[in-house]
Structure 1
Amino acid sequence: MKQIGLASRAARLPESGRASGAVPLNSLCIAILLVLGSTTSLAAPQPAAVDGARIAAADKEPGNWMSTGRTYDEQRFSPLKQVNDGNVDKLGLAWSYKLDIDRGVEATPIVVDGVMYTTGPFSIVYALDARNGKLLWKYDPQSDRSRAGEACCDAVNRGVAVWNGKVYVGVLDGRLEAIDAKTGQKVWSVDTRSDHTRSITITGAPRIVKGKVIIGNGGAEFGVRGYITAYDAETGKQDWRFFTVPGDPKEMPEGKGMEIAAKTWFGNNYHKQGGGGTVWDSMSYDPELNLLYIGVGNGSSWNPRIRSEGKGDNLFLSSIVAIKPDNGEYVWHYQTTPGDAWDYTATQHIMLVDLELDGKKRKVLMQAPKNGFFYVIDRETGELLSAKNFIPINWATGIDMKTGRPIRNEKVAEYWKDPEKKARLIQPAFWGAHDWQPMSYNPQTGLVYIPAHIMSAMYQDVDGAPPRSKFKSIYQLDVNTGMMPEDPEGLRKIADTWTGKLIAWDPVKQEAAWEVPYTTIFNGGTLSTAGNLVFEGTANGRVVAYAADTGKKLWEQPANTGVMAAPVTYEVDGEQYVTFMAGWGGAFSTFAGALSLRAGVKPNAQVLTYKLGGTATLPDLKDRFADRKPEPPKLTGTQAQIDQGRELFNSSCSQCHGINAISGGVVPDLRTLSKENHERFLGIVYGARIPDGMPSFEGHLDAKQAEAVHQYLIKRAYDLQEQQAAAKKTAAN
């Protein structure tokens, strides 16, 4: 475990608390200021001195960013306006910091009293001086990399939480850990996994409410039963756990929520498969109503015919659930996609806003989940107030406002009912109209800024139910979502249909105010500010600012990598900064490597921080795979063996190394294996590269199957050589 100590900040007054000619503050003055609610950065008794009252009053100290969404309502709006639409073009790089591992970066930094706390791949935590990016300490939880293949969507982490001098991180392998914010030393660690035989992971950021650290888990595609758990922030002792789908139908349901849910599931295969419904990302909290809102994910398996005999709503899949943070009791739910069959999770960003609707002020909750509808819901009761699709969709024709249910387009959407098992083109597809990248809300413009996807895919029922496996598989989902062609022209045609947008959405009118188109999906989350600005990073390697009211582009700089995370802004010593966590990776760039190459970026994990007049230089990008060329041995496999290898590769290896062995550059492209790695291929498959994050497939692939995969990769290496030669010839002409 590598750690660097942080000297105590308790004894010195930050520059932001001084004024020219000011009389030094004594302890009595400081105490009075704290009682009156003045910014605690004037005399922070310890690093990360955050509690619920301070988060609830976050607008009184806008220079800090103390929780994932800045405030409990998760609006991701900053009142800071030193940087505004009149001077944002003067924004320059103030400092950068290189993270240890070049994989996907999805964290929202926390900034408290001049210190930034953030994470990189494999859940490594960094404490940086927010003024200059100097490393104060680093904590590596030593995530079990042998389990990297059990994580759905790269070794990502979406950030930490802070509370009472501690920093909390969810570790990819399923642990929740508390770290001393001053020293970077571990305080306590708990294993959050409910079942060690299942592939339970953590990628989301914890939230802390009333002294409880609340965390969900991932793994629905691997056969996990979803739940969310609260732990005591001081001791790590489990306080309560709320399951999101029923357990063994032979046993009594756990509480009111599971009593309701159990009536909506059929058969017992869901229990064997796990059911799904993981709470892997979004939460928000209303202190006045004392309600915690959680977003619930997709089912296991995707196919409702196999999961629940094709019947039932399957609560609480694809739902928003309100629970009491004191004890985890169910209060109400709203299901966005009853009987989900398309991976339409409702784990996307949940924000709380007070809106005037039909002349009446309403306490609402807003979400734009994967299914393509923008929802406005009464957050006291769960009543649906309005819903409208924000991108073109074909799986439903609208929402029945009497029942709150989608009006399903049966001829298109219900692939599992087709007796001929024909493939059906469905939009949006499995990464949805909006994925985990956070949206933001600007109360001055009244608009929500959504990083949207435009994508479709073929869905097709498959026979039987493949056995549950700890490795994600396109076949394990019990739905064939369409294989991508191997030829470049076929790939280009698909890529042309997968695009993105930044949409400024009016939640009252339920219509777009303005849009900015992008060439591909998986652009970054958004930040809006009182300076009439919207900040966003892009998949093709830019950081951009738009006018919040009109969408006019006002500022742009290169990031030298794709940017997926949502930026934050803060103020130290009277100077406003804007930070982007940059680094290409995640589900799109690994699984759909061939399509992510369209973005033209490489992984380059880093923190990029800007200020007015910043003059720092963007570090050069070093592509660790740039010099790799195919070195295949002689192809000896039969056509049948190569065909088997293709199927095995795409079912067992494509989640990391890309469909058809075309990598997006985050992990090695196996078409470019070296001569030495070809010679020791079986050893690598069986665990020789575990320290690098390559899991062992021993017990999953036998020697004959591994050799079939190897022959397929050799064949793909020769395909790549032919493509490179053809491209070189074309360029020469």
Structure 2
Amino acid sequence: MLLRTLTSLTTAALLGLSSLTIAQPAAQVTVVNEESISNPDAEWLSYGRDYQEQRFSPLDKVNRDNVDELDLAWSFKFETARGMEATPLVHNGVIYVSTGWSHAYALDARTGEELWHFDAKVPKSHLIKTCCGPVNRGLAIWQEDENSPLQVFLGALDGRLIALNALTGEQNWSVQTTPPNSNYSITGAPRVVKGMVVIGNGGAELGVRGYVSAFDVNTGEQKWRFYTVPGDRNKPQESPALEAALETWKGDEWYTVGGGGGGTAWDSLVYDPELDLLYIGTGNGSPWNRDLRSPGGGDNLYLSSIVALKPDTGEYAWHYQVTPRDNWDYTATQQLVLAELELEGETRKVIMQAPKNGFFYVLDRVTGELLSADKFAKVTWASHVDMDTGRPVETKYADYQSNGGSYIWPAPFGAHNWQPMTYSPKTGLMYIPVQNVPTYFKGMDAVSYQLDRWNTGIDLNEVRDPKSWVAGRAAVDALIYGELVAYDPIKQQRAWSVKHPKPSNGGILSTAGDLVFQGTWGGKFAAYDATNGDILWQYQSDSAVLAGPITYELDGEQYIAVAQGSGGALMLAGGDEVKRNFVNQNKLLVFKKGDFNLTQPIQDNGESVIMALGHEANNDEQVITRGEEIYSRNCGSCHGISAKTNYVLPDLRHMSEQTHIDFTAIVLGGAYAHKGMAGFYSSLTSADVDAVHAFLDRQQQRLPEMVEMTFLQKIEYWVNYGLAKIGERYPDLLNSTRGMMM
């Protein structure tokens, strides 16, 4: 770290700079405070660019008439190789960006030269306490006044909030925001509001209790904390809002067996300086299964809700619950966007969200009044939202506990997840990265809270009943896809859409140049006409482009920047083959108009299908079934449901003979803990590990019969054979499935 800092300072000296300050664009931002974040001009000063989180830029030097002149001006390769979800920040000619495993970088925004690099040195063993990889969505920057230091704030995966000197990358202070050695993690970007750094956390799948905290920018002193769900009902609650929420919870399972109830605010935070309100989006229940979490019913406030707080104290102002009685991991942590809309002849200050559950919500952000709620994707768990009550009307598919299991749209991955959407006040459209993915939900009879283990109350294995299993594979092979959707929040309908072959695609940027930028699972980064979705320009990268793009201006030139790197829940859990033509390079790609000849050929990562058939396999069906259950609870979130993984992590169906030999040492003993594969010695027995090994062995032995089939042959097989079987159990679902395929 010291060497990198000295190198940074030497570089600055050679350039004739005293503080890494480079020539400024015409609209110079001198101090990064509330005023400049509200009006960032040519810079990108907060996660969503400004406090409104619209991700719309007024820059138009790159527009639909000349976007085909864009070329890769420079790229920077990071040390990490995992999911890349960060939105970069730009100030004074410097790009600040974070990567997986809680690294932070400062780069010259013109050339990509590294100015400094900070590594939070998160223990790799903490990976087991996360949902979806060691990702990080971004940084925050702040400067009180011209006499105060510019600081960069990083939320580390292990729960620390770290303040860095923006000039040198040296740590100013660090505070542990979560209990040590707990199931909490931080993946979201901090926000700075009124001299306080606000940060949430994740871990609901692993049983924690959600909260949001605010810390003094200069000292790290905690100013306030707002818990999103009640605690032990036998003790005083932390606020009147929690006392009121307690009435919506039944029993005591959520804090005794479940561990904490969930409701983590792991992503969305937005501040309105005019109203002086801070809005947070809260997450799913823990466990997901509401019959186990709150037996006897109840809405379980403030799960899956938009909550308005007073930023000085963290005091509750109002809430709207997006998914009452959450039963499906339908978080409301997705991006919140502020805007002014003309509704029925009146200008309304609104807050908008497209959460996991598939409905697009428009609320009055002063009062929390629901103004509209309509489907933006395929939804089968609810028919509509009743505008008189503000509540969704659940369908017969929603109660999978009573049904004995149900296929439901959307899956827990959500119709929209963390990938940011964008609102263009110029077109009046919201551009949403939509995921069309169903999942089979089947409730479990009990759940037990354990450190380092998911506690969903849901059977995450693929269904073992042959009819249901075939139907599930038909959906997987034929019906899962992604979309770029332009949604009109006033007309409450789609204006246009672009279909992507894979579901997990990138965040979106809109500009005054009538452009919309988005990356894809397949590594394409493209510009679309904001008015009709026509593709105008594209660049092919060598890894998925999932993060939110940005744009900035320097020396009269407009740049477009985006991070690349494959990962996230859907890519980890939902893969079905190793992609031989991709390497999971973490890079920052920066484009501007010109011809730079920097495009690199796509590299082959050299992976091949390795069949290990020499060792003796355990073919006991009871052992294999038990191993599948254990694998689902402990391994599937990283290595893929039923071991059908993607190329981000090793595909366990392709284990080498040596891996088979070392299996117990790896899984039980933690032989690969230094790589993030922690040992399960505290929660699994040798017999458990042997059962998991037997299950993976079976998956590996079955691989050749599927490898021989092409992707199209798989689709033809499952469609021809599988769809006929759906009607035996779900005749209504069959009709909707056929409709999706036409």
**What's the CA shift for 1:720?**
2.8
**What's the CA shift for 1:218?**
0.2
Deviations 1:66-111 (A, max 9, x none): 0000110100000000000000011111111112121111000001
2:152 to 144, 151, 167: 167
1-side partners of 2:580 and 2:611: how far apart? Answer: 23
Residue 22 of structure 2 corresponds to 14
**What's the CA shift for 1:545?**
0.6
**What's the CA shift for 1:392?**
2.6
2-side partners of 1:126 and 1:484: how far apart? Answer: 44
2-side partners of 1:2 and 1:317: how far apart? Answer: 44
1:380 to 363, 366, 374: 366
Q: Which moved more, 1:552-561 or 1:200-209?
A: 552-561
The answer on whether the counterparts of 1:293 and 1:322 sit within 8 Å (CA) in structure 2 is yes
Deviations 1:626-681 (A, max 9, x none): 14623344223142333332322222112111122232011111223333332222
- Is residue 699 from structure 1 mapped to residue 682 from structure 2 by the alignment? yes
- Is residue 247 from structure 1 mapped to residue 226 from structure 2 by the alignment? no
The answer on whether the counterparts of 1:630 and 1:672 sit within 8 Å (CA) in structure 2 is yes
Where does structure 2 lack aligned partners over 5 or more consecutive residues? 144-149, 714-742
2-side partners of 1:576 and 1:718: how far apart? Answer: 53
- Provide the secondary structure at the position in 1 that maps to 2:197: strand
1-side partners of 2:379 and 2:672: how far apart? Answer: 42
| Alpha-carbon distance change, 407 to 659 in structure 1, aligned in 2, over 3 angstroms | closer
**What's the CA shift for 1:491?**
4.2
- Provide the secondary structure at the position in 1 that maps to 2:267: coil
| Alpha-carbon distance change, 394 to 488 in structure 1, aligned in 2, over 3 angstroms | closer
- Provide the secondary structure at the position in 2 that maps to 1:339: coil
Where does structure 1 lack aligned partners over 5 or more consecutive residues? 19-37
- Is residue 134 from structure 1 mapped to residue 117 from structure 2 by the alignment? no
Residue 147 of structure 2 corresponds to none
Residue 91 of structure 1 corresponds to 70
**What's the CA shift for 1:599?**
12
Deviations 1:391-414 (A, max 9, x none): 2312112111122111222x2212
The answer on whether the counterparts of 2:580 and 2:607 sit within 8 Å (CA) in structure 1 is no
Residue 425 of structure 1 corresponds to 407
2-side partners of 1:662 and 1:197: how far apart? Answer: 30
- Provide the secondary structure at the position in 2 that maps to 1:461: coil
Residue 631 of structure 2 corresponds to 649
Aligned amino acid, residue 690 of structure 1: A
Residue 21 of structure 1 corresponds to none
Residue 516 of structure 1 corresponds to 498
Residue 645 of structure 2 corresponds to 663
Residue 4 of structure 2 corresponds to 4
Residue 27 of structure 1 corresponds to none
**What's the CA shift for 1:39?**
1.4
2-side partners of 1:386 and 1:490: how far apart? Answer: 33
Q: Which moved more, 1:679-688 or 1:124-133?
A: 679-688
- Is residue 715 from structure 1 mapped to residue 704 from structure 2 by the alignment? no
**What's the CA shift for 1:538?**
0.8
The answer on whether the counterparts of 2:47 and 2:89 sit within 8 Å (CA) in structure 1 is yes
Aligned amino acid, residue 302 of structure 2: F
Residue 585 of structure 2 corresponds to 604
1:39 to 25, 28, 31: 28
| Alpha-carbon distance change, 413 to 13 in structure 1, aligned in 2, over 3 angstroms | closer
2-side partners of 1:150 and 1:625: how far apart? Answer: 30
Residue 185 of structure 1 corresponds to 170
Residue 438 of structure 2 corresponds to 456
The answer on whether the counterparts of 1:324 and 1:330 sit within 8 Å (CA) in structure 2 is yes
The answer on whether the counterparts of 1:138 and 1:184 sit within 8 Å (CA) in structure 2 is yes
The answer on whether the counterparts of 2:279 and 2:309 sit within 8 Å (CA) in structure 1 is yes
The answer on whether the counterparts of 1:215 and 1:230 sit within 8 Å (CA) in structure 2 is yes
Deviations 1:507-531 (A, max 9, x none): 1111111111111211111100000
| Alpha-carbon distance change, 490 to 364 in structure 1, aligned in 2, over 3 angstroms | closer
After superposition, residues 215-614 of structure 1 pair within 5 angstroms as: 215-272=199-256, 273=258, 274-409=260-395, 411-416=396-401, 418=402, 421-463=403-445, 465-473=446-454, 476-481=455-460, 483=462, 491=473, 493-594=475-576, 602-614=583-595
The answer on whether the counterparts of 2:581 and 2:604 sit within 8 Å (CA) in structure 1 is no
1-side partners of 2:593 and 2:581: how far apart? Answer: 29
**What's the CA shift for 1:155?**
1.1
**What's the CA shift for 1:614?**
4.0
Residue 32 of structure 1 corresponds to none
Q: Which moved more, 1:333-342 or 1:495-504?
A: 495-504
> RMSD in angstroms over aligned alpha carbons?
2.3
2-side partners of 1:621 and 1:212: how far apart? Answer: 44
The answer on whether the counterparts of 1:2 and 1:139 sit within 8 Å (CA) in structure 2 is no
2-side partners of 1:103 and 1:560: how far apart? Answer: 13
With normalisation by structure 1, the TM-score equals: 0.90
| Alpha-carbon distance change, 17 to 439 in structure 1, aligned in 2, over 3 angstroms | closer
Residue 626 of structure 1 corresponds to 607
2-side partners of 1:709 and 1:13: how far apart? Answer: 56
The answer on whether the counterparts of 2:583 and 2:605 sit within 8 Å (CA) in structure 1 is no
Q: How many residues align?
A: 692
Q: Which moved more, 1:435-444 or 1:389-398?
A: 389-398
The answer on whether the counterparts of 1:16 and 1:574 sit within 8 Å (CA) in structure 2 is no
**What's the CA shift for 1:297?**
0.4
Deviations 1:473-520 (A, max 9, x none): 4xx311235517899997465132111111111111111111111112
Aligned amino acid, residue 497 of structure 1: L
Residue 637 of structure 1 corresponds to 618
Q: Which moved more, 1:666-675 or 1:630-639?
A: 630-639
Aligned amino acid, residue 15 of structure 1: A
Deviations 1:20-51 (A, max 9, x none): xxxxxxxxxxxxxxxxxx613xxx5xxxx411
Aligned amino acid, residue 496 of structure 1: A
Q: Which moved more, 1:89-98 or 1:491-500?
A: 491-500
Aligned amino acid, residue 192 of structure 1: T
Aligned amino acid, residue 4 of structure 1: R
**What's the CA shift for 1:721?**
4.5
Q: Which moved more, 1:221-230 or 1:694-703?
A: 694-703
2-side partners of 1:720 and 1:481: how far apart? Answer: 21
The answer on whether the counterparts of 1:539 and 1:564 sit within 8 Å (CA) in structure 2 is yes
1-side partners of 2:699 and 2:119: how far apart? Answer: 37
Aligned amino acid, residue 48 of structure 2: G
1-side partners of 2:239 and 2:3: how far apart? Answer: 43
Deviations 1:572-604 (A, max 9, x none): 12111101111111111112222x768985522
2-side partners of 1:643 and 1:277: how far apart? Answer: 32
After superposition, residues 195-206 of structure 1 pair within 5 angstroms as: 195-196=179-180, 198-206=182-190
| Alpha-carbon distance change, 599 to 349 in structure 1, aligned in 2, over 3 angstroms | farther
- Is residue 114 from structure 1 mapped to residue 93 from structure 2 by the alignment? yes
The answer on whether the counterparts of 2:525 and 2:541 sit within 8 Å (CA) in structure 1 is yes
| Alpha-carbon distance change, 176 to 453 in structure 1, aligned in 2, over 3 angstroms | same
- Provide the secondary structure at the position in 2 that maps to 1:183: coil
Aligned amino acid, residue 692 of structure 1: K
- Provide the secondary structure at the position in 2 that maps to 1:708: helix
Identity of aligned residues (%): 45
With normalisation by structure 2, the TM-score equals: 0.89
**What's the CA shift for 1:715?**
3.2
2-side partners of 1:654 and 1:435: how far apart? Answer: 19
Q: Which moved more, 1:647-656 or 1:3-12?
A: 3-12
Deviations 1:172-215 (A, max 9, x none): 1111111111111111111111x446300000000000110000
| Alpha-carbon distance change, 625 to 336 in structure 1, aligned in 2, over 3 angstroms | farther
2-side partners of 1:674 and 1:622: how far apart? Answer: 23
